[in-house]
Amino acid sequence: MSHQTVLILDFGGQYNQLIARRVRECGVYCEVKPCSTPLEELRALDPIGIIFTGGPNSVYLDTSPHVDLDIFSWGVPILGICYGCQLLAYSLGGQVTPAQNDSAREYGKTVTDYDTSCVLFRDLPRQGVSWMSHGDYMVRVPDGFRLTARSANCPNVAIADETRNFYGVQFHPEVNHTENGVAMLRNFLFRVCHAAGDWTMEDYKHTALAAMREKIGNGRVLLALSGGVDSSVVAALLAEAVGSQLTCVFVDHGLMRLNEADEVEAAFSQWNVNFIRRDASARFLDKLAGVEEPERKRKIIGEEFIRVFEEEAKKIGAVDFLAQGTIYPDVIESGAGNAAVIKSHHNVGGLPDCVDFKEIIEPLRLLFKDEVRQLGRELGLPEYLVSRQPFPGPGLAIRIIGGITREKADLLRRADFIFRDEIAKAGEDKRLSQYFAVLTNTRSVGVMGDGRTYDYTLALRAVTTDDFMTADWARIPYEVLDKISVRIVNEVQGVNRVLYDITSKPPATVEWE
Ligand code: XMP
């Protein structure tokens, strides 16, 4: 069944996939297309509405991305966000310049007054906080437009031409910091574009299945399976799309959690899929010996994974595709487009330059974690798999700070197991999004029995989050923390001090490396 489509034209902003996600949350199908896409291709989507995204450029520069003016004659409603708003104004005859003084540049939370007679702000409060991030200023808006929102420093925070259904906002309605931002997007989608709002994750599943069948054809595909949520969802998707053409390869790199490799094997051998378990622990630990720098660790692991998959593919023969469970936060944090590199997730920034597969397929590349879980449920995956806490591909390698040894990995495994065990016993596991132990490379003095110890400091990390782009540290009851700490120092030789990490993301990240 075909669905109404909203076209999101990508001008390189940081939040573009977040806009797409918000549109999907409203039950409306959308496609994000680069702004360089030929106009005929965009027209062929037959969009009911178009959103111009933000972007890092200034519209008045020749080098900045622009849009073919023909798009304005389609009779399709347009919403411009940030750069998209300035582009709308500039393209239709307005004037945009660099802000003359600091106060006209706006970054962060800004109190904004809205004209609620404009359909974009209808039925919403007249005032609210909006999230701004722009250094340019619309000095003159084009003919036919009126100003529909203002802040203390800026009289033209939003513009509208209600006859042609063109709207522009300088702020970002898609981010949580903008009060009622989603309601504004809903007004655009439902009151301006008259979207039906009947698109669901089930539709996404059908679209993804059809796309995978078309891409893979009669070919063979090897899936890099870690047993985590993302790769398990890809396994379910590909199993349904291409059945026995799929082989799932689980590589044990020696840095899994306690019993994990056996558990993954037990879970997947019950499925009707080709499953291979490969023990590559010796060679991974060998390559990682003496490596301390986190980015180096990720690159080594990313490369080694690929080499093992290539070897397995050769054994199967004629494998064209390598599938991965990459999701959107992996892509953006690895520095996609203009975004800064936060950490090179092993499956994105950690990939080697040369890969011996015709193509890498990543059906979840545009989804956020909670959407992946929803898709997993649609595909009929058992709840225990869908709601599992994530475990990063590089495993304990990025939870052992500094150099990695088998002994350190064993020590961390035992401590991490105790942490998870006590969290489950306390019934806290459902509430926490992710929780694990980290072996720091700090040692400190302790006293045990009557003797001095000089042992490792272990850190516990537990967070709550929806999408893993931001996260809060979890308020675990003191009694539970106490039990965990007592058990770890008593049962794990080599640890004499336990810390609890009380930092949110940002400014920290979830993992320590
Ligand atoms: P950060 O540390 O970036 O973590 O705040 C966000 C989420 O991503 C996971 N993570 C990774 N997953 N390969 C993965 O498959 C990686 O290199 C990687 N680094 C972080 C992390 O466990 C958390 O769920």
Q: Are residues 268 and 169 in the same domain?
A: no
Q: Tell me whether residue 510 is in a domain.
A: no
Mutate to test the pocket of ligand 1, among 251, 342, 511, 513 (most ligand atoms within 8 A of CB): 511
pTM comes to: 0.79
Question: Within 13 Å of residue 62, how many CA atoms lie on the same side as its CB?
Answer: 0
- What does the block give as tokens for 45? 């989507």
Ligand 1 contacts CB of residue 393 (under 6 A): yes
Q: Tell me whether residue 235 is in a domain.
A: yes
The DSSP code for 388 is P
Q: Are residues 324 and 289 in the same domain?
A: yes
Looking up residue 214, the CATH number of its domain turns out to be 3.40.50.620
Ligand 1 atom at minimal distance to the Cα of residue 333: 3
Q: How far apart are CA 17 and CA 3, in angstroms?
A: 19
Q: Tell me whether residue 147 is in a domain.
A: yes
pLDDT of residue 2: 66
Q: Are residues 57 and 180 in the same domain?
A: yes
Q: Are residues 223 and 317 in the same domain?
A: yes
Of 121, 108, 106, 109, nearest to 154 by C-alpha is 106
Q: Are residues 339 and 412 in the same domain?
A: no
pLDDT of residue 340: 59
- Reduced DSSP (H G I as helix, E B as strand, rest coil) percent helix, strand, coil of the chain, to 5: 35, 25, 40
Residue ending a domain, among 171, 192, 213, is 192
pLDDT of residue 258: 96
Q: Tell me whether residue 505 is in a domain.
A: no
pLDDT of residue 469: 77
Please list, residue by residue across 44-79, b when 16 or more beta carbons sit within 10 angstroms of its beta carbon and e when fewer do: eeebbbbbbbbbebbbeeeebbebeeebbeeebbbb
Write out 396-409 in H/E/C secondary structure: HHHCECCCCCHHHH
Ligand 1 contacts CB of residue 501 (under 6 A): no
Q: How far apart are CA 328 and CA 325, in angstroms?
A: 10
Q: Which residues pair with 127 in a beta bridge?
A: 113
Q: Among this protein's residues, is 172 annotated catalytic?
A: yes
Render pLDDT for 193-230 as a digit per residue (tens, 0 to 9).
999 999 999 999 999 999 999 999 999 999 999 989 99
Render pLDDT for 68-87 as a digit per residue (tens, 0 to 9).
999 999 999 999 999 999 99
pLDDT of residue 337: 57
Q: Are 476 and 410 in contact (CB under 8 A)?
A: no
Ligand 1 atom at minimal distance to the Cα of residue 505: 5
Handedness of CA 489, 492, 497, 500 (dihedral sign): negative
Q: Are residues 436 and 350 in the same domain?
A: no
Ligand 1 contacts CB of residue 297 (under 6 A): no
Q: Are residues 167 and 215 in the same domain?
A: no
pLDDT of residue 478: 98
Q: Are residues 284 and 310 in the same domain?
A: yes
Identify the domain containing residue 456 by its residue range: 399-500
Q: How do the pLDDT tens digits run along the chain, 513 residues long?
A: 568 999 999 999 878 889 999 999 999 999 889 999 999 999 999 999 999 999 989 999 999 999 999 999 999 999 999 999 999 999 999 999 887 665 556 667 789 999 999 999 999 999 999 988 767 878 899 999 999 999 988 889 999 999 999 999 999 999 888 999 999 999 999 999 999 999 999 999 999 999 999 999 999 999 999 989 999 999 999 999 999 999 999 999 999 999 999 999 998 888 899 999 999 999 999 999 999 999 999 999 999 999 999 999 999 999 999 999 999 878 766 666 545 567 677 777 777 888 889 999 999 988 888 899 999 999 999 998 899 898 999 999 999 999 999 999 999 999 999 999 999 999 999 999 999 999 999 999 999 988 999 999 999 999 998 778 778 999 999 999 999 999 999 999 999 999 999 999 878 999 999
Q: Are residues 417 and 348 in the same domain?
A: no
Looking up residue 474, the CATH number of its domain turns out to be 3.30.300.10
Task: Catalytic residue, from 26, 35, 118, 172: name it.
Answer: 172
Ligand 1 atom at minimal distance to the Cα of residue 391: 22
Q: Among this protein's residues, is 174 annotated catalytic?
A: yes
